[in-house]
């Protein structure tokens, strides 16, 4: 099948299982797509060339290719974490999710571009829908590769907005599970209490399929028994949202017959708490690199780490207490609603490659540890995608995915 690269992950796995498609043919088709598009998109840092067991790969993935953000360790591929400090580095083992992917029958196609240490420092990847624009970050390469049909599935991470925002900018789907649903072992730490492993695909069905394969949780693929009760949350950062994204959310509210919802006043200031926690923890996670290789850190990242070391530890403790209090209150605050619907980004992908975009729409949910699913919801006047995010209760990942599938079908 010459155009097998267009297949979704679950459909491809079914075809392979039935003997209607060879796994090695799917991998070869993806390689051809990468060869054609990589000079423009620049999504990959490394491509594997040999897949001796692809056709013998077990269920449930049956050899379906997966891209791995270059912030995860891979024993058989270079892992540089987006930094010149680690150029050519070869870990001795795989990150947990990479090992789980192999066990589930996935084929690791290669490593995708990440911002430096999965922070805000952009690298070379371009938005495949408009190469003059950013794909977002820090999971730039993974989002761009999935959006450009180079690979059906890919890993990303989110410490601020690094999964959900790139999905919005690139017009695809992303799943940020509840914190720690997918294991972080073998992930280069950034902010340990925020770092969340997630996945990209081109449908909610494929997100659920991949997450279920990794976790062995069949409930993640369950369907809703009734329409979800949806609250539209504009957050306390609404003034940062661009008019086109505001219209997209309003249009979705009418289409879905959703209610307006406002977070309790105690949730104000969560963005400031996130910032305090983020840079306090990142500075300490990068203490070795900051101390021994200061000239190899991006100057802006070096300054953020310097600020993080200077931060008052009492303020960090206060920020963590604020976050814990709001997590404890969240389920009750949601009241009758199964999920919330909020912007996945402040607007379309920004022009230029000097910034990966504004994280204002993401940091609250990252700090609260909630499951989030990015779904496409229209286009800007420039023809660029706009995405919304479906936000669930902590631990309610299955319902959040099912609600996102229901919502995506109606917004398509």
> Tens digit of pLDDT for each residue in 363-405?
999 999 999 999 999 999 999 999 999 999 999 999 999 999 9
Predicted TM-score (pTM) above 0.85: yes
331 part of the active site: no
Tokens (6 digits) for 21: 């498609």
Nearest C-alpha neighbor of 322 from the set 373, 271, 359: 271
Claim to verify: residue 240 and residue 387 sit in the same structural domain: yes
How far, in Å, CA of 345 to CA of 362, rounded?
Answer: 7
- Give yes or no: residues 238 and 142 share one domain: no
Q: Which residues pair with 66 in a beta bridge?
A: 108, 153
Query: Does residue 250 share a domain with residue 200?
Result: no
Kindly report which listed range (21-25, 66-70, 386-390, 398-402) carries the lowest average pLDDT score. 21-25
pLDDT band at 101 (very low <50, low <70, confident <90, very high): very high
Which pLDDT value is given to residue 57?
A: 76
Degrees to nearest 5, angle at CA 320 with 315 and 323: 125
pLDDT band at 240 (very low <50, low <70, confident <90, very high): very high
Split at pLDDT 50, 70, 90, the class of 55 is low
pLDDT at position 2 over 90? no
- Tally the domains of the chain: 2
Mean local confidence (pLDDT), 318-338: 98
Query: Sorting pLDDT into bands at 50, 70 and 90, what band is 52?
Result: low
Structure token digits, residue 259: 């209610």
- Are residues 76 and 214 part of one domain? yes
The CATH number given to whatever domain includes residue 158 is: 3.90.1300.10
Does a structural domain hold residue 304? no
CB 42 within 8 Å of CB 142: no
**Catalytic status, residue 138:** yes
Answer yes or no: do 19 and 127 share one domain. yes
Q: What whole-number distance in Å separates Cα of residue 304 and Cα of residue 64?
A: 39
* Eight-state DSSP code of residue 342: E
Rounded Cα distance between 344 and 392, Å, is 14
C-alpha 370/C-alpha 330 separation (Å) is 9
Q: Which residues contact 201 (CB under 8 A, 6 or more apart)?
A: 8, 9, 146, 152, 153, 172, 173, 174, 175, 207, 209, 210
Domain boundary among 221, 253, 285: 221
* Amino acid 54: pLDDT: 57
53 confidence band (pLDDT: 50, 70, 90): low
Domain assignment present for 27: yes
Residue of 57, 162, 273, 285 marked catalytic: 162
Mean residue pLDDT of the chain comes to 97
- The answer to whether residue 302 is domain-embedded is no
CA dihedral for 265, 266, 272, 274, sign (positive or negative)? negative
Q: Is residue 16 part of a domain?
A: yes
Residues 168 and 79 in one domain: yes
> Do 147 and 249 lie in a common domain?
no
Out of 29, 138, 203, 273, the active site residue is 138
Is residue 288, in this structure, part of any structural domain at all? no
C-alpha distances out from residue 275 to 92, 279, 329, Å: 33, 6, 21
Question: Is 139 part of the annotated catalytic residue set?
Answer: no
- The Cα 162–Cα 196 span in angstroms is 10
Residue 165 and residue 99 in one domain: yes
Query: Domain span at residue 20?
Result: 4-221
- Out of 10, 42, 69, 176, the active site residue is 69
Can you tell me the distance from the alpha carbon of 327 to that of 119, in angstroms, rounded to the nearest whole number? Answer: 24
142 in the same domain as 253: no
CB count, 10 Å around CB of 43?
Answer: 29
Contact yes or no for 82/114 (Cβ under 8 A): yes
User: What pLDDT, in 10s, does the model give residues 175-222?
Assistant: 999 999 999 999 999 999 999 999 999 999 999 999 999 999 999 999
């Amino acid at each position: 099948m010459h155009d097998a690269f267009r297949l979704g992950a679950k459909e491809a796995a079914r075809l392979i299982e039935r003997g209607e498609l060879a796994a090695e043919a799917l991998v070869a088709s993806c390689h051809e797509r990468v060869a054609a598009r990589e000079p423009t998109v620049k999504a990959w840092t490394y491509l594997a060339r040999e897949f001796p067991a692809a056709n013998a790969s077990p269920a449930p993935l049956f050899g379906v290719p997966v891209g791995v953000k270059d912030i995860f360790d891979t024993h058989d591929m270079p892992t540089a974490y987006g930094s010149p400090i680690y150029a050519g580095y070869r870990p001795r083992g795989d990150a947990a999710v990479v090992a789980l992917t192999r066990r589930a029958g996935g084929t690791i196609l290669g490593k995708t571009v990440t911002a430096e240490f999965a922070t805000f420092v952009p690298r070379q990847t371009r938005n495949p829908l408009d190469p003059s624009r950013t794909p977002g970050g820090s999971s730039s390469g993974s989002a761009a590769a999935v959006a450009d049909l180079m690979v059906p599935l890919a890993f990303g991470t989110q410490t601020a907005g690094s999964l959900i925002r790139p999905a919005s900018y690139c017009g695809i789907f992303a799943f940020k599970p509840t914190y720690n649903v997918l294991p972080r072992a073998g992930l280069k730490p950034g902010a340990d209490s925020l770092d969340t492993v997630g996945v990209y695909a081109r449908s909610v069905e494929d997100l659920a399929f991949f997450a279920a394969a990794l976790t062995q949780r069949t409930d993640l693929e369950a369907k809703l028994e009734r329409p979800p009760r949806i609250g539209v949350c504009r957050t306390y950062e609404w003034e940062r949202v661009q008019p086109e994204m505001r219209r997209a959310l309003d249009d979705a509210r009418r289409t879905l017959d959703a209610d307006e919802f406002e977070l309790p006043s105690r949730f104000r200031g969560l963005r400031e708490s996130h910032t305090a926690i983020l840079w306090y923890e990142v500075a300490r996670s990068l203490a070795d690199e900051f101390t021994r290789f200061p000239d190899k850190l991006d100057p802006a990242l070096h300054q953020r780490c310097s600020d993080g070391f200077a931060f008052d530890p009492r303020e960090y403790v206060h920020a963590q207490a604020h976050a814990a209090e709001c997590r404890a209150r969240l389920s009750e605050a949601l009241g009758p609603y199964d999920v919330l619907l909020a912007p996945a980004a402040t607007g379309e992908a920004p022009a230029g490659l000097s910034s990966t975009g504004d994280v204002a729409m993401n940091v609250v949910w990252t700090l609260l540890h909630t499951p989030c699913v990015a779904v496409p919801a229209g286009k800007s006047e420039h023809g660029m995608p706009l995405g919304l995010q479906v936000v669930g209760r902590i631990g309610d990942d299955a319902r959040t995915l099912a609600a996102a599938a229901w919502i995506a079908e109606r917004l398509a």
